[in-house]
A and B are shown apart, each in its own frame.
Chain A
């Protein structure tokens, strides 16, 4: 039996990170959300690139989860790809 999962990837803008520990806490917290397959947070580019399961997460829900942590996050226009 095979299970098909639709994956999506998005680069979210993240403002308010200033050091490695901010990056780490985002990676830990967002990385443990259901449906998040892979996560790369860049301090220099102020972005978080996420590969996720489309049935469990959306760019908006991921951005919301980052905002919930106290950082500012936004979904860049037209960056949602499958």
Chain B
């Protein structure tokens, strides 16, 4: 499994909650969210683009920081 770091413009628990729910819907991923740092770490074998599109569904700005 590869661990990817994304920066998502989350501002509150509602935002991180939304991120959690869309990632859960995607399934087959492990993830951690650091709200104060606005970072999301995702462990998955899926393509970065797929993860990116999923995160973008929340309507937030998403930046890919590379693998960790």
Contacts and interface: CB of A to CB of B under 8 A. Distances in A.
B59 A69 contact: yes
A69 B25 CA distance: 10
B15 A21 contact: yes
Contacts of B18: 16, 22, 69-71
A39 to B, nearest CB: 13
Contacts, number: 47
Chain A interface residue number, banded: 10 to 19
Nearest to B60: A25
A25 B13 contact: no
Given A68-B57, A70-B57, A70-B58, A22 B22 contact: no
Contacts of A19: 11-12, 14-15
